[in-house]
Amino acid sequence: MFGFWRNLDDEDKAKVMKITGILVALLAVFTLLATFSYFFTWKTDQSSLSSAVGDTTVEVSNIAGKMGYRWADLLVRRWFGLGSLAFVVILFAVSVRLLLHRWHYSLVKTTLLTVSGALISSFILAFVSDLSGFGNAFGGGLGGECGESVV
């Protein structure tokens, strides 16, 4: 599958890693912007996007557009709530590793810690949101539907 990688010289490998790092960094920035915008605009976007995504007449308030709203809705409402910001950390860690070629920390360890943190915070925030009356915050509670299903 990655046989082409063996055929590249070191200079070409460095170029591919830099381009991939830039793409991952752009995805991280997109995720960060979409998620933070979702925190403030989820009610208006949720009511206006009950129709098809491809409908050009529907406008959204999310700074990242319709795709950003859908991406943030998946992360925040359906998955981990506020804990979904951990995915931004993972994406930035991957992009830094690809761009700077620094391997000070294990990427597997970083990923496991941040995903575990997202899960634990989802559970805790779902419990707290039920107690405090924020069970409908962000459409799925502070902990998202993942945490809500456990609590």
Look at residue 100 in the predicted model and tell me its pLDDT: 87
Is residue 116 scored above 80 in pLDDT?
yes
- Residues 144 and 94: their CA atoms lie apart, in Å, by 25
The total of other beta-carbon atoms located within 10 Å of residue 96's CB is: 16
Is 102 in a helix, a strand, or coil?
A: coil
Domain count, the chain: 1
- Confidence class for position 130, pLDDT limits 50, 70, 90: low
- pTM of this structure: 0.78
Range of the domain at 68: 3-150
pLDDT of the residue at 126: 75
Q: What is the band of 33 on the pLDDT scale with cuts at 50, 70, 90?
A: very high
Q: According to the model, what pLDDT value does residue 110 have?
A: 82
How many Å apart are CA 147 and CA 120, to the nearest integer?
8
